[in-house]
Chain A
Amino acid sequence: MSKSWGPHDIGGQEGGPIDLSEHDTAHWEWQIDAMVRLSLSKGLISDFAELRDGIEHLTQEDYDSCTYYERWAKSLAYTLVSRGVVSEQQLADKIDAVRARQEAQGLA
């Protein structure tokens, strides 16, 4: 659809069956939710619309393969880096540190 803006803009298109199964919110998903709300309340990001914009800039492949909070996480990381709150290097270092910790705990 030529008028479509981003991978989310699919209103009216054939969408296939809807997954109605219940699922619990994982601890990391609450953490992402908390980070989003803290970033808003501390003024690090201006508005939910800014995060929406980040989500809508995901590639179709990323958008389709990510869950709800994975999209939030990607958008928050992108927004905080582009606003200079954290650097790409700091983010990469933290991801490495968390991965190493999880591997040490046998979680990854």
Chain B
Amino acid sequence: MSTPLFSVGQQVRIADRTPPVHHRVPAYAKGQVGVIERVCKLHGEPEKFIRGDGKPAQRLYRVRIPQSGLWQGYDGTAGDDLDIEIFEHWLEPTE
């Protein structure tokens, strides 16, 4: 089992890229900054095995992003967050 690159509470940025293959990062989350809410298990990563490169297990993280940062003019309850599960290779440290 690989050692997680990120730890709970660490601030990360979700990569802003669009590979032309099924990937599990919606457009609205790309380029967003969030905080690691939890370190999840390893899961088969779809981008590689669709290209025929096997099904390598990759670390997943639950990333917490403030709703007010995602949506312009968000008028929901203050402190609303989005938790979204993102593979490690999509995350970069903010510092």
Contacts and interface: CB of A to CB of B under 8 A. Distances in A.
A5 B27 contact: yes
A47 B49 contact: yes
Interface SS of chain A: loop
A53 B44 contact: no
B50 A53 contact: yes
Given A11-B26, A47-B55, A49-B22, A3 B50 contact: no
A4 B20 CA distance: 10
B28 A11 contact: yes
Contact of A56 (B22, B28, B70): B22
Contacts of A49: 22, 46, 49-50
Contact of B30 (A3, A46, A52): A3
Contact of B21 (A1, A9, A46, A53): A53
Contacts, number: 42
9 contacts: A5-B18, A5-B20, A5-B27, A12-B27, A47-B44, A47-B49, A47-B55, A50-B22, A50-B49
A interface residue count range (under 10 / 10 to 19 / 20 to 34 / 35 or more): 10 to 19
A46 to B, nearest CB: 6
Chain A CB within 10 Å, residue with most, of B19, B27, B49: B27
A9 B22 contact: no
Contact of B18 (A3, A46, A47, A52): A3
A20 to B, nearest CB: 23
Contacts of A53: 21-22, 46, 50
B46 A1 contact: no
A47 B55 CA distance: 10
Chain B CB within 10 Å, residue with most, of A12, A46, A49, A52: A49
Given A3-B16, A5-B18, A46-B55, A52 B46 contact: yes
B45 to A, nearest CB: 9
